Structure 1
Amino acid sequence: MAVNPVIETRGLTLQVRDAAVVGDISVRFQAGELVMLVGPNGAGKSTLLRMLAGQQQPSRGGLLFAGRSSRSMRRDEWARHITYVPQLSALSFPLSVEEVVSLGGMAHGRSVVALRQQVQEALRLWEIDYLARRDVRLLSGGEQQRCQLARSWVQVQQEGSALWLLDEPLSALDLRHQQQCMARVRELTAAGKTVVMVVHDLNLARRHADRVVLMGCGRVVADGAATEVLTARQVADTFRLDIELDGDYLRWR
């Protein structure tokens, strides 16, 4: 039996003046899969995530959630289904780490006791419990990233939340916490959630992604299994690099 897509884009286009930042994107994201978006800078990866999150409206095309058009849904209703962590999400307000993480459950009407338990679990899982009382503005870049990931982890755990959108979530993390983030992602996909994340590490995508969407110049170049999409020839053509495949490892020459 075919699995219905959690979210689907049909001809999604964002036109800015005479140029298409993203042009004619039609992709499906299925329940329980990890999809990684890869491509050169300016390929449209972050723009696509913002449109999926409802943060940016397309010029043309549409979005469907479980077969229902986004145009028929209120913005707050769409937001309850989709959790989004942008590339730059540092806060300028004097909030503690625990308060920021708590924001992840505010829109879902959880009881105070249930939310507090989930927040404490998130602080522990993302290893920021020792920072709980710290002003978020005083954290390092990696600590701020883990704080935002913990907040969004609380949100995506809520009933009805189905899609976790992550824009370069590993960029500020050390190796230990990158591994930790990927473990949390796999736990969520195993529970039936869908995760779409932007990454620049193509070898990480080859190892971990269920599917890879390769983008270039605002369009989908290829969409499929990582080993089929991230071939030496296709990566070389898209990134304009001299590259070879050494076993399962892409190597720049």
Structure 2
Amino acid sequence: MTGGSATGLEVEGLVVRAGRHELVHGAAFSAPRAAVTAILGPNGAGKSTILRAIAGVEKPSAGAIRFRGDDLRSLGRRERAQRVAFVEQDATTDLPLDVHDVVSLGRTPYEPRWGGRDPNAATAIDGALAAARVEAFAERRFASLSGGERQRVMLARALAQQPRLLLLDEPTNHLDVAAQFELLALLREHADRGMTVVTALHDLTLAADQADAVVVIASGRVVANGPARETLTSELIREVYRVTARWTENPVTGRPMLVLGRRA
């Protein structure tokens, strides 16, 4: 395991069932603080289910989920939402909300219980809009946006929560190449400030280039967890993805680059 004990995310013995079908089988891994951890695996491996369980959207049948030493499963929804934000893969709403309204929902966990106003709302919302680069269309209706624009707005909503743990499910979906790198650079900025970022990614080469650590899932089981460049071996990729792979030097950046080849 990669790991920061009380300083990051720790998942132990996680089991998630849907009726009699077990979707996640005793998953155990850790994600360090102040780092970007990518959850990888083939389609249907269980990446989204694990993220939803950590976020509290899915109720696990068994297992422990701790963040900075605290048991997330024991927290109330309000307290959990002040620590953990989750950006789902596809966001839709039938409500006639503009972008600013959607992002402001990220402040709900901080609204006083007995009425009044959140004194930090305006600053947090404006900062989130700017960070996700969506302030230019803050007054537009959310429903009118493209898929990529919606994804950025939902990221802004999550950032408005000012979480310590940020979970994202395939956040680069609907984004062009430049926007993908821009988004991952933003996640890097927040990780460098101390946030724990855990994101499911479909693009293996992008994850290898951008993530500090990886969790590799296959058929609902964790098969590897550790630093990206040490964990993503040719042998592991052949076993999980059934393709050949090797590390080389990126001719543009000079950094190590994972190159995928033919089906193994």
Shorter-chain TM-score above 0.5: yes
**Alignment of structure 1 residues 214-229 onto 2, 5 Å:** 214-229=216-231
Q: Distance in 2 between matches of 1:124 and 1:74?
A: 30
Question: What residue in structure 1 maps to residue 139 of structure 2?
Answer: 133
| Conservation of the 8 A alpha-carbon contact between 1:232 and 1:250 | no
Question: What residue in structure 1 maps to residue 106 of structure 2?
Answer: 104
RMSD: 1.9
3-state DSSP of counterpart to 1:62: strand
Question: What residue in structure 2 maps to residue 54 of structure 1?
Answer: 56
Q: Which one-letter code corresponds to 2:52 in the other structure?
A: R
3-state DSSP of counterpart to 1:173: coil
3-state DSSP of counterpart to 1:13: strand
Q: Which one-letter code corresponds to 2:58 in the other structure?
A: Q
Q: Which one-letter code corresponds to 1:148 in the other structure?
A: M
Question: What residue in structure 1 maps to residue 129 of structure 2?
Answer: 123
Q: Which one-letter code corresponds to 2:63 in the other structure?
A: G
Alignment: residue pair count: 247
Question: What residue in structure 2 maps to residue 76 of structure 1?
Answer: 78
Which of residues 196, 203, 206 in structure 1 aligns to 2:205? 203
Compared with structure 1, are the counterparts of its residues 173 and 65 closer, same or farther at alpha carbon in structure 2 (3 Å cutoff)? same
| Conservation of the 8 A alpha-carbon contact between 1:4 and 1:31 | no
TM-score (ref. length: structure 1): 0.90
Q: Is the deviation greater in 231-240 or in 196-205?
A: 231-240
| Conservation of the 8 A alpha-carbon contact between 1:35 and 1:197 | yes
Q: Distance in 2 between matches of 1:68 and 1:145?
A: 29
| CA positional deviation for 1:17 | 4.1
Q: Distance in 2 between matches of 1:84 and 1:193?
A: 13
Question: What residue in structure 2 maps to residue 239 of structure 1?
Answer: 241
| CA positional deviation for 1:92 | 1.8
Q: Distance in 2 between matches of 1:105 and 1:6?
A: 23
Which of residues 252, 260, 263 in structure 2 aligns to 1:251? 260
Q: Distance in 1 between matches of 2:228 and 2:130?
A: 32
Q: Which one-letter code corresponds to 2:245 in the other structure?
A: E
| CA positional deviation for 1:75 | 2.4
Question: What residue in structure 1 maps to residue 175 of structure 2?
Answer: 173
3-state DSSP of counterpart to 1:245: strand
TM-score (ref. length: structure 2): 0.87
Which of residues 21, 26, 29 in structure 2 aligns to 1:19? 21
- Show structure 1 runs of 5+ residues with no match: none
Q: Distance in 1 between matches of 2:106 and 2:36?
A: 21
Q: Which one-letter code corresponds to 2:157 in the other structure?
A: R
Identity of aligned residues (%): 36
| Conservation of the 8 A alpha-carbon contact between 1:10 and 1:26 | yes
| CA positional deviation for 1:246 | 5.3
Q: Distance in 1 between matches of 2:132 and 2:174?
A: 14
3-state DSSP of counterpart to 1:149: helix
| Conservation of the 8 A alpha-carbon contact between 2:23 and 2:46 | yes
Compared with structure 1, are the counterparts of its residues 232 and 188 closer, same or farther at alpha carbon in structure 2 (3 Å cutoff)? same
Q: Which one-letter code corresponds to 1:74 in the other structure?
A: G
Question: What residue in structure 1 maps to residue 252 of structure 2?
Answer: none
Q: Distance in 1 between matches of 2:28 and 2:258?
A: 29
| Conservation of the 8 A alpha-carbon contact between 1:82 and 1:164 | yes
| CA positional deviation for 1:71 | 4.2
Q: Distance in 1 between matches of 2:86 and 2:92?
A: 14
